[in-house]
Amino acid sequence: MSKRILVVGLACADIISVVQDYPEEDSDQRVLDYYWQRGGNAANTSCVLSLLGARSEFLGTFATDREAEFLKEVFQKYNVITENCVTYTDGVKTPTSIVITNSKNGSRTILHHGKNWPEIKPEHFKNLDLTQYKWIHFEGRPSCDDIKDMLLWIDEYNKTVDKDARIRTSLEIEKTTRIGLDNLFNTADTLFVSKDYVKSRGYNTKEEGVQKLSVKCREGSEIICPWGEEGAVAMGTDGILHSSPAFSPKLSPGQNMETLAAGDTFNAAFILSRSKGQSLNEALTFGCQVAGSKCGMKGIDGLD
Ligand code: ADP
Ligand code: FRU
């Protein structure tokens, strides 16, 4: 059986309203559509990986409320393994995002609640049988020290196995306020940095961001920066800047764009491509193609 790709991070409930026009404060309007969807970067990425044909596992924490039941059903539907997840029974509430999707341009405005959410801890992670995995991806959650600990654990494991059995690691640095993530650039083989993060650190373009931040990465690693409608760039061990344009989705008349989880989809497609041994350029292009297709559909069904 093929080895798994593990994605560590958040599963939350996205409660989505699709609006005709972006609402004004204190207004009252009817929405075009309303639905619940699985959310959280790691949950989204693991589901896309499965749709694209990978053996995909999600590692995160669950509560015991209605939202958690919903999420577990979704993972089952997408054939994502959740057997190592941890359930908290002491009254914590599943994180939720109220998402406003603007039908005019596909923008997504996210109002997230995840206060005091218990994250996966190194002691949970260290129970995993690492021989089962070929790639482990971490969402850059607030628990930065724990993420570092888990990545170091994988490094130690990799020292004990043959080169072709080593696990490749990746880390997404997205949120600008998680200062501890600044210190994790040298802990993974593949770094995904977001447009918001790059801008918040004073760089104006994806090219500048990747060039400047690449010096913080460890030897042999690669850094990738997706940038919405401008596609994505990457820099690998050759020190050359690789880039891919975005691919506009094919929309039928009256169909809406939806960019929610485009970045998570990009990461999944990129990881899958690299895990199959494809080049940095191929992975970048595949990531943009799959993320572009996602923007032309509601959710992720249809990516398979
Ligand atoms: P997010 O904001 O969800 O983290 P990004 O804006 O960084 O995601 O976009 C990730 C990838 O999704 C981009 O590199 C691009 O390939 C694709 N993408 C995003 N928005 C669009 C769009 N409007 N049209 C086509 N592709 C897009
Ligand atoms: C999209 C997403 C949503 C979730 C939010 C959490 O990337 O994972 O599904 O509500 O981000 O920040």
Q: Which two tokens stand for residue 193?
A: 């940095």
Average pLDDT, the chain: 96
Tens of pLDDT, residues 126-146 = 999 999 999 999 999 999 999
Distance 266 CA to ligand 2 centre (A): 14
Ligand nearest to the CA of 39: 2
Tens of pLDDT, residues 257-282 = 899 999 999 999 999 999 999 999 99
Strands 222-226 and 232-235, by their bridges, are antiparallel
Radius of gyration of the chain (CA): 19
In the predicted structure, residue 154 carries a pLDDT above the cut 90: yes
Identify the pLDDT of residue 151. 98
Identify the pLDDT of residue 214. 97
Distance 57 CA to ligand 1 centre (A): 24
Tens of pLDDT, residues 102-111 = 998 889 999 9
What is the CB < 6 Å shell around ligand 2? 12, 14, 39-41, 44, 97, 110, 112, 260-261, 263-264
Q: Is the dihedral of CA 107, 105, 100, 47 positive or negative?
A: negative
Ligand nearest to the CA of 244: 1
User: Going by CA atoms, what residue is nearest to atom 8 of ligand 1?
Assistant: 263
Give the confidence band of 304 by pLDDT, cuts at 50, 70, 90. Answer: confident
- Does residue 279's CB lie within 6 angstroms of at least one atom of ligand 1? no
User: Going by CA atoms, what residue is nearest to atom 1 of ligand 2?
Assistant: 261
In the predicted structure, residue 285 carries a pLDDT above the cut 90: yes
Whole-prediction pTM: 0.97
Identify the pLDDT of residue 8. 98
3-state helix, strand, coil in the chain (%, to 5): 35, 25, 40
In the predicted structure, residue 116 carries a pLDDT above the cut 90: no
Give the confidence band of 179 by pLDDT, cuts at 50, 70, 90. Answer: confident
Q: Ligand 2 pocket test: which of 97, 109, 113 has the largest number of ligand atoms within 8 Å of its C-beta?
A: 97
- Does residue 292's CB lie within 6 angstroms of at least one atom of ligand 1? yes
Distance 122 CA to ligand 2 centre (A): 23
Tens of pLDDT, residues 197-256 = 999 999 999 999 999 999 999 999 999 999 999 999 999 988 999 999 999 998 888 888
> In the predicted model, what is the mean pLDDT of residues 49-59?
98
In the predicted structure, residue 91 carries a pLDDT above the cut 90: no
Identify the pLDDT of residue 252. 85
Distance CA 175, CA 68 (A): 24
CA 155 and chain centroid, separation: 21
Distance CA 289, CA 58 (A): 24
Cβ-contact 29, 19 below 8 angstroms: yes
Distance 263 CA to ligand 1 centre (A): 6
In 3D, which of 70, 73, 10, 1 has the Cα closest to residue 45?
Answer: 10
- Does residue 262's CB lie within 6 angstroms of at least one atom of ligand 1? yes
> In the predicted model, what is the mean pLDDT of residues 178-207?
96
Question: Could you give the ipTM of this predicted complex?
Answer: 0.98
User: How many residues are listed for the chain in this entry?
Assistant: 304
Identify the pLDDT of residue 57. 98
Atom nearest to 97 CA in ligand 2: 10
Q: What is the dihedral of CA 81, 68, 40, 43, to 10 degrees?
A: 10
Cβ-contact 31, 18 below 8 angstroms: yes
Residue 158: is it exposed, middle or buried by C-beta count within 10 angstroms (0-12/13-18/19+)?
Answer: middle
Amino acid sitting at position 60 = G
